[in-house]
């Protein structure tokens, strides 16, 4: 790479390209994947990095993990299992609105921990809208809780939220690392949030006995559509979880490989007993479940951020941050937590996380490499995931729930959402702050 391109320092060009990506994302004038790819092409064409370096910059482990899980969930949702669980839960609380708010929130939190947050809300929110409609309840508190709990639940595991996948893959943190470090604090947060939701919304909810009786007549078993496929899906999901834990920790198989292998196995099992045209049709449909725009958005970002890294600007920023925090490890951790939550509250947290990963890696020169940096990674993960709750556009799951609310003629107002969600977000960040401080920084 040359230091000057057309007489302009390469760092400025790299920054301008990244700035363009952010500007377009904030202005919401172009598809995010398209601008990321345009920016990546510009980075290569301006010579900030060559083709080989660009391909090398793409974290295929992250992409394989995303693709694999999208295929598995895409096949699994056809079995109706998610609807089944939601209806069984509604009957379990005897269709009591107060209990329903709690149990639907918990289901979303648990699903979000193991599935992508957007996928989770796409599976659960339609049934939430149906249940509130049947009980003649306003859907707002339920939809608000869906957003908050999906973002909190997603923080708990390696595969729960893209920032975790990115950090885990870049740093080599495993599924069990996430579960043991993030699990306890997330469980604690969920308990507190359930209390908050019950006090502010749950205990005020009421419905008629007639509406409840109607809901209690539901037959959840009827929503299970393809039992053989359900069994196959559970077997594959079990194997994938074993791969994430045992396979990763003892056999050193990367999570991306496990997820793609799981997807391939499930597609194979799903095709058994069918003729080739039908097998092809099924595989085609399964690959169709992959959100390719998300995958290409990631690809473009990896390249753009690598071009920034090549110019040396990211290590400069890392150095500046440690200067501001006076080389104090605790202060740096807190700055990362609050800055990443603030940032994630307003724009998509993925470009931020992709950019900050090499910055934190560069801080290794000051604080030591490898495990010594883990507290900073946990600060980033908690900030980036939980911060997404702050506004209606803070995370993709929020946007998806808002879109469902609109379709159900019960739109969520941006300001109203923020009035409720911002204090809740700050509360979770304070809890995260205390936890991080007590567990890692003293």
Partner 1 sequence: MPIEDALIPNPITINAEYTVEQALTLINKHQIRSVPIVENSGKFIGMFGLHSLLDDLLPMAAKMEEGVKDLDFVVGGAPSAAKKIRKLAHKSVLEVIKKTEEHHYLKDDMSILESIRRLYKYGSPLPVVTKELKFLGLISEQSCLNHLNEVLKEVEAEEKLNTNL
Q: Which is nearer to partner 1, 51 or 409 (CB)?
A: 409
Tell me how crowded residue 308 is: count the other CB atoms within 10 A of its CB. Answer: 24
Give, in order, the Cα–Cα distances in Å from 137 to each of 14, 180, 249, 380, 392.
51, 38, 47, 37, 22
Count CA within 13 A, CB hemisphere, residue 298: 18
Of 408 and 422, which has the nearer Cβ to partner 1? 408
Q: Which residues contact 314 (CB under 8 A, 6 or more apart)?
A: 305, 308, 355, 358, 359, 362
- Considering only 99, 126, 312, 364, the residue that binds partner 1 (CB under 8 A) is 126
When binding is defined by CB under 8 A, the residue of 51, 409, 415, 442 that contacts partner 1 is 409
Compare residues 217 and 275 and give the one whose CB is closer to partner 1: 217
Stretch that binds partner 1, among 80-88, 275-283, 336-344, 387-395 (CB under 8 A): 80-88
For partner 1, give the closer residue by CB, 2 or 225: 225
**Contacts of partner 1 in 255-314 (CB under 8 A):** none
Euclidean distance between CA atoms 161 and 146, whole angstroms: 15
Q: Which is nearer to partner 1, 290 or 408 (CB)?
A: 408
Element (H, E) at 5: strand 4-5
Rg (alpha carbons) of the chain, rounded to whole number: 22
Q: Which stretch binds partner 1 (CB under 8 A): 120-128, 189-197, 282-290, 431-439?
A: 120-128
- Of 119 and 169, which CB lies nearer to partner 1 in the complex structure? 119
117 three-class SS: helix
Q: How far is the CB of 132 from partner 1 (least distance, A)?
A: 9
Q: Please tell me the distance from the alpha carbon of residue 421 to that of residue 141, in angstroms, as a whole number.
A: 11
- Measured in Å, how far apart are the chain's first and last C-alpha atoms? 43
Q: Which of 25, 122, 182, 385 binds partner 1 (CB under 8 A)?
A: 122
DSSP state of 438: I
**Contact pattern for partner 1 over residues 199 through 238, marking x by CB under 8 A:** ---------------x--xxxxxxx-x-------------
To partner 1, the closest distance from the beta carbon of 13 in angstroms equals 41
Q: Which listed residue (93, 265, 283, 408) binds partner 1 by CB under 8 A?
A: 408
Q: Is the CB of 223 or the CB of 398 nearer to partner 1?
A: 223
Member of 133, 278, 365, 371 binding partner 1 (CB under 8 A): 133
Q: Which is nearer to partner 1, 226 or 245 (CB)?
A: 226
Q: Which two tokens stand for residue 120?
A: 């989770």
Compute the least distance from the CB of residue 260 to partner 1, in Å.
26
Note the residue count of the chain: 442
| Distance of closest approach, residue 131 Cβ to partner 1, in angstroms | 8
- Measured from the CB atom, the residue of 14 and 129 that comes closer to partner 1 is 129
The Cα-based distances of 309 to 209, 320, 325, 358, 384 in angstroms read 62, 15, 22, 7, 21
Cα–Cα distance between 341 and 288 in angstroms, integer?
33
Q: Using CB under 8 A as the criterion, what x/- string covers residues 39-78 for binding partner 1?
A: ----------------------------------------
Q: Should residue 99 be labelled a site residue for partner 1 when binding is judged by CB under 8 A? A: no
Q: How many other β-carbons are positioned within 10 Å of the β-carbon of residue 346?
A: 14
# residues near partner 1 by CB under 8 A? 23
- Name the minimum Å distance from CB 79 to partner 1: 11
| Helices and strands, counts by H and E, the chain | 23, 2
CB-nearer residue toward partner 1: 87 or 113: 87
**Are the C-beta atoms of 390 and 345 separated by less than 8 Å?**
yes
| 4: enclosing H helix or E strand | strand 4-5
Residue in the block written with tokens 């990506």:
21
Shortest Å, Cβ 126 to partner 1: 5
* Residues at the site binding partner 1, with contacts judged by CB under 8 A: 80, 83, 87, 122, 126-127, 129-130, 133-134, 214, 217-223, 225, 404, 407-409
């Amino acid at each position: 790479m040359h230091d000057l391109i057309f007489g302009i320092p390469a760092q400025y060009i790299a920054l301008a390209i990244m700035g363009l990506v952010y500007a377009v994302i904030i202005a919401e004038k172009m598809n995010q994947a398209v601008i990321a790819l345009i920016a990546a092409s510009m980075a290569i064409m301006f010579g900030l990095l060559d083709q080989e370096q660009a391909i090398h910059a793409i974290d295929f482990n992250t992409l394989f993990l995303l693709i694999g899980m999208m295929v598995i969930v895409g096949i699994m949702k056809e079995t109706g299992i998610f609807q089944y669980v939601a209806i069984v839960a509604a009957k379990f609380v005897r269709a009591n609105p107060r209990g329903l708010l709690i149990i639907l929130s918990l289901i979303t939190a648990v699903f979000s921990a193991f599935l992508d947050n957007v996928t989770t809300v796409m599976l659960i929110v339609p049934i939430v809208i149906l249940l509130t409609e049947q009980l003649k309840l306003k859907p707002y508190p339920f939809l608000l809780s869906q957003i908050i709990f999906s973002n909190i639940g997603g923080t708990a595991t390696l595969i729960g939220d893209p920032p975790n996948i990115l950090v885990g893959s870049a740093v080599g943190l495993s599924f069990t690392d996430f579960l043991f470090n993030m699990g306890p604090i997330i469980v604690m947060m969920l308990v507190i949030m359930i209390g908050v939701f019950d006090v502010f919304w749950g205990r005020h909810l009421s419905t008629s006995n007639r509406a409840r009786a109607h809901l209690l007549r539901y037959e959840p078993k009827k929503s299970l559509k393809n039992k053989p496929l359900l069994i196959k899906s559970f077997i594959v999901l079990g194997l994938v979880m074993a791969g994430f834990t045992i396979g990763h920790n003892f056999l050193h198989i990367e999570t991306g490989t496990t997820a793609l292998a799981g997807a391939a196995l499930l597609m194979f099992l799903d095709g058994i007993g069918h003729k080739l045209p039908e097998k092809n049709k099924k595989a085609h449909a399964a690959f169709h479940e992959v959100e390719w725009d998300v995958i290409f958005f990631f690809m473009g970002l990896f390249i753009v951020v690598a071009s920034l890294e090549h110019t040396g600007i990211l290590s400069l920023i890392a150095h500046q941050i440690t200067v501001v925090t006076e080389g104090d490890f605790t202060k740096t951790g807190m700055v990362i937590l609050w800055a990443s939550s603030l940032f994630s509250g307003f724009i998509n947290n993925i470009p931020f996380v992709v950019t900050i990963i090499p910055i934190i890696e560069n801080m290794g020169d000051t604080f030591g490499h490898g495990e010594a940096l883990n507290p900073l990674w946990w600060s980033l993960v908690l900030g980036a995931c939980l911060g997404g709750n702050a506004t209606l556009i803070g995370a993709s799951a929020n946007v998806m729930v808002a879109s469902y609310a609109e379709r159900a003629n019960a739109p969520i107002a941006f300001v109203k959402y923020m009035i409720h969600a911002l204090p809740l977000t700050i509360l979770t960040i304070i809890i995260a702050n205390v936890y991080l401080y007590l567990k890692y920084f003293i």
